[in-house]
């Protein structure tokens, strides 16, 4: 700006006829380095004669003096005010300078840990986070009831705050010697579970309530398995579901399954029966035979792990998988056979084949062509037993045990054969 002002004065007064670019290249001289701004980490240059502040902070200092009614521009509070001010930042920068030293270290530690887990970091969200932490002494000592008093600005800032809070408290627990697996609620992002992502790090934080596993020895066994094997997320979910099913079965036993040395083969029978009748989470029916076999295998592998590493020394030898503990394989085609249309309904449809395709527009096809096409589709479905998506992709000339497929319609406009199509109104 000083160079531009000087060139404009000389140009208007007739002292030079050069344009700005030529004048800067030939006549201008570098200005001496100005004094640094009094605010720490600020890259601005102090231009004022009375205060060592850059233009940005000089204006903020003027507003501060106006709010307090100060008349002296070089008041005694200038150094203290500048010590807690943020530097002039661009849109991709943030600063932790307004925070006290302890809080600054907590947030910095959380941001470093978060950067290793998540691919993005929003400087705007961190700015809002720093603004919301004004007056807070320590995140680790912050009572849970005060969490809602910080005032989230948007969801992005709230997500950053949840990560910072989780990471700071996890580090504080580790400092005090508290194992995250000893808590009733597990933070899965803090367990070191491997992910199938390219980085292998779990990026989505989630809490898991392990109180559904009522038996302490079973919950400790699962925790020791996580520590030793560092499983993937999918494997961990299978083992956890298997433990939850086994815990539910043992809880109904006379002893509740709390004493591992008192478990018998009848207790194992109850666990296998619970897994054999396991239902889907949405309640639509039982799990597939393969999924139930996986749960039973996971639970038995967990018991073998405990015996092999002597994690559960007093686990009864009779509480193990026996030869009769099997989940029979179920053929999916048998279930599909039960969904076949009864013969009575097929007879009713056969009596009304002349109504199939009536008043059903299909592109620019004539009505009689549409009726012939849909009646052909019905005959294929009835006589071959094929599923609708199989009939849809049958090419012309396909031979089946019941009939030979022929082109069901020919377009009168192009003369081309139209494929077999199944619509939503077909039987």
Res 424 pLDDT > 50: no
User: What are 45's strand-pairing partners?
Assistant: 36
Q: What is the pLDDT of residue 258?
A: 92
Longest alpha-carbon distance in the chain: 108
User: What are 207's strand-pairing partners?
Assistant: 187
Q: What is the pLDDT of residue 412?
A: 29
**Has residue 95 been placed in a domain?**
no
The per-residue b/e assignment along 377-412, b for 16 or more CB within 10 angstroms, e otherwise, is bbbbbbebebeeeebeebeeeeeeeeeebeebbeee
**Has residue 206 been placed in a domain?**
no
User: What are 279's strand-pairing partners?
Assistant: 286
Q: Mean pLDDT across the stretch 370-390?
A: 85
Domain boundary among 311, 334, 357: 334
Pair (276, 230) in one structural domain: yes
Q: What is the pLDDT of residue 422?
A: 36
Pair (160, 172) in one structural domain: yes
Let me know: does 180 contact 170? Beta carbons within 8 Å: yes
Does residue 221 or residue 418 have the better pLDDT?
221
Computed over every residue of the chain, the mean pLDDT equals 80
Q: Which two tokens stand for residue 21?
A: 């670019």
Pair (80, 125) in one structural domain: no
DSSP single-letter state for residue 111: H
State whether the Cα torsion 250-252-255-258 is positive or negative. positive
Q: For residues 374 and 391, give the distance between their C-alpha atoms in angstroms, rounded to a whole number.
A: 12
Q: For residues 366 and 228, give the distance between their C-alpha atoms in angstroms, rounded to a whole number.
A: 70
**Has residue 189 been placed in a domain?**
no
Res 9 pLDDT > 90: yes
User: 358-363 contacts: CB < 8 A, separation 24 or more?
Assistant: 360/423, 360/425, 362/423
Q: What is the pLDDT of residue 328?
A: 80
Res 410 pLDDT > 50: no
Let me know: does 216 contact 260? Beta carbons within 8 Å: no
Q: Which two tokens stand for residue 159?
A: 């997500």
Lowest-confidence region among 142-156, 217-231, 376-390: 142-156
DSSP single-letter state for residue 205: -
Q: For residues 205 and 227, give the distance between their C-alpha atoms in angstroms, rounded to a whole number.
A: 18
Q: What is the pLDDT of residue 36?
A: 84
Q: What is the pLDDT of residue 48?
A: 62
User: 89-98 contacts: CB < 8 A, separation 24 or more?
Assistant: 89/127, 91/123, 91/124, 92/123, 93/123, 94/123, 94/124, 94/126, 94/127, 94/130, 95/41, 95/130, 96/130, 97/40, 97/41, 98/130, 98/134
Let me know: does 131 contact 73? Beta carbons within 8 Å: no
Pair (10, 45) in one structural domain: no
* Percent of the chain residues topping a pLDDT of 70: 82
Q: Tell me which range, 1-10, 68-77, 136-145, 333-342, is most confidently predicted by mean pLDDT.
A: 1-10
Res 206 pLDDT > 70: yes
Q: Which two tokens stand for residue 234?
A: 């999918």
User: Checking DSSP bridges between strand 45-46 and strand 185-187, what pairing results, if any?
Assistant: unpaired
Res 205 pLDDT > 70: no
Pair (245, 265) in one structural domain: yes
Q: What is the pLDDT of residue 10?
A: 92
Pair (154, 252) in one structural domain: no
Q: For residues 17 and 81, give the distance between their C-alpha atoms in angstroms, rounded to a whole number.
A: 47
Domain boundary among 162, 178, 194: 178
**Of 290, 388, 378, 294, which Cα lies nearest the Cα of 336?**
388
Q: What is the pLDDT of residue 403?
A: 42
Q: What is the pLDDT of residue 325?
A: 87
**Has residue 207 been placed in a domain?**
no
**Has residue 192 been placed in a domain?**
no
Q: What is the pLDDT of residues 327-361, one digit of tens each?
A: 887 655 555 555 677 888 888 989 988 899 898 88
* Percent of the chain residues topping a pLDDT of 90: 23
**Has residue 272 been placed in a domain?**
yes
Res 99 pLDDT > 50: yes
Overall number of domains in the chain: 5
Instruction: State the CB neighbour count (10 A cutoff) for residue 118.
Output: 17
User: What are 70's strand-pairing partners?
Assistant: none
Pair (318, 348) in one structural domain: no
**What is the Cα gyration radius of the chain?**
37
- Note down the domain range covering 127: 101-178
Let me know: does 335 contact 301? Beta carbons within 8 Å: no
Pair (230, 317) in one structural domain: yes
Let me know: does 73 contact 67? Beta carbons within 8 Å: no
Pair (239, 318) in one structural domain: yes
Q: Mean pLDDT across the stretch 16-37?
A: 88
Does residue 423 or residue 286 have the better pLDDT?
286
Q: Mean pLDDT across the stretch 313-335?
A: 78
- Tell me the pLDDT band of 108, cut-offs 50, 70 and 90: very high
Pair (229, 326) in one structural domain: yes
Please, is 73 exposed, middle or buried when counting C-beta atoms within 10 Å of its C-beta (0-12, 13-18, 19+)?
Answer: middle
Res 146 pLDDT > 80: no
Q: What is the pLDDT of residue 267?
A: 92
Res 196 pLDDT > 70: no
Q: What is the pLDDT of residue 338?
A: 58
Pair (220, 305) in one structural domain: yes
Q: What is the DSSP string of 211-276?
A: GG---HHHHHHHHHHHHHH--BHHHHHHHHHHHHHHHHHHHTSTTTT--GGG--HHHHHHHHHHHH
Does residue 196 or residue 89 have the better pLDDT?
89
Pair (218, 329) in one structural domain: yes
**Has residue 93 been placed in a domain?**
no
The per-residue b/e assignment along 322-357, b for 16 or more CB within 10 angstroms, e otherwise, is eeebebeeeeeeeeeeeeeeeeeeeeeeeeeeeebb
Q: What is the pLDDT of residues 148-195, one digit of tens each?
A: 555 556 778 888 888 888 889 888 988 888 888 888 888 777 776 766
**Of 94, 99, 85, which Cα lies nearest the Cα of 56?**
85
**Has residue 253 been placed in a domain?**
yes
Let me know: does 408 contact 372? Beta carbons within 8 Å: yes
Domain boundary among 65, 88, 111: 88
Q: What is the pLDDT of residue 21?
A: 93
Q: Mean pLDDT across the stretch 271-290?
A: 85
Q: For residues 139 and 168, give the distance between their C-alpha atoms in angstroms, rounded to a whole number.
A: 7
Q: What DSSP element (H or E) covers 290?
A: helix 289-308
């Amino acid at each position: 700006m000083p160079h531009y002002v000087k060139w404009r004065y000389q140009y208007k007064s007739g002292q030079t006829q050069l344009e700005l670019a030529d004048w800067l290249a030939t006549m201008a001289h570098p200005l001496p380095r100005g004094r640094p701004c009094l605010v720490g980490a600020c890259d601005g240059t102090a231009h004022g004669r009375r205060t060592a502040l850059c233009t940005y902070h000089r204006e903020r200092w003027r507003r501060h003096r106006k709010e307090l009614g100060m008349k002296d521009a070089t008041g005694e509070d200038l150094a203290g005010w500048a010590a807690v001010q943020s530097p002039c930042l661009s849109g991709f920068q943030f600063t932790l300078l307004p925070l006290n030293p302890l809080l600054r270290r907590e947030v910095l530690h959380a941001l470093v840990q978060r950067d290793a887990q998540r691919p993005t970091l929003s400087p705007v969200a961190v700015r809002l986070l720093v603004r919301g932490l004004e007056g807070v002494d320590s995140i680790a000592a912050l009572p849970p009831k005060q969490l809602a008093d910080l005032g989230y600005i948007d969801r992005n800032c709230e997500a950053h705050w949840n990560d910072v809070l989780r990471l700071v408290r996890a580090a504080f627990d580790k400092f005090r010697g508290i194992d995250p697996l000893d808590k009733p609620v597990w933070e899965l992002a803090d367990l070191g579970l491997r992910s199938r992502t390219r980085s292998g790090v779990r990026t989505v934080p989630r809490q898991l309530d392990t109180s559904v596993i009522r038996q302490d020895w079973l919950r400790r066994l699962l925790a020791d398995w996580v520590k030793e094997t560092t499983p993937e997320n999918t494997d961990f979910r299978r083992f956890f579901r298997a433990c939850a099913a086994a815990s539910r079965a043992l809880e109904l036993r006379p002893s509740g399954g709390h004493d591992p040395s008192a478990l018998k083969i009848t207790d194992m029978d109850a666990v296998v029966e619970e897994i054999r009748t396991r239902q889907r989470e949405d309640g639509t029916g039982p799990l597939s035979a393969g999924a139930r076999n996986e749960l039973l295998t996971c639970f038995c592998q967990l018991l073998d792990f405990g015996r092999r590493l002597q994690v559960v020394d007093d686990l009864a030898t009779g509480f193990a998988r026996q030869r009769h503990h099997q989940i029979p394989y179920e053929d999916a085609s048998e279930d599909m056979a039960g969904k076949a249309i009864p013969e009575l309904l097929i007879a009713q449809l056969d009596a009304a084949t002349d109504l199939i395709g009536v008043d059903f527009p299909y592109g620019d096809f004539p009505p009689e062509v549409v009726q012939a096409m849909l009646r052909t589709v019905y005959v294929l479905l009835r006589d071959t037993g094929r599923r609708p998506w199989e009939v849809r992709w049958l090419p012309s000339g396909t031979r089946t045990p019941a009939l030979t497929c022929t082109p069901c319609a020919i377009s009168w406009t192009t003369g081309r054969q139209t494929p077999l199509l199944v619509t939503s109104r077909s039987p």
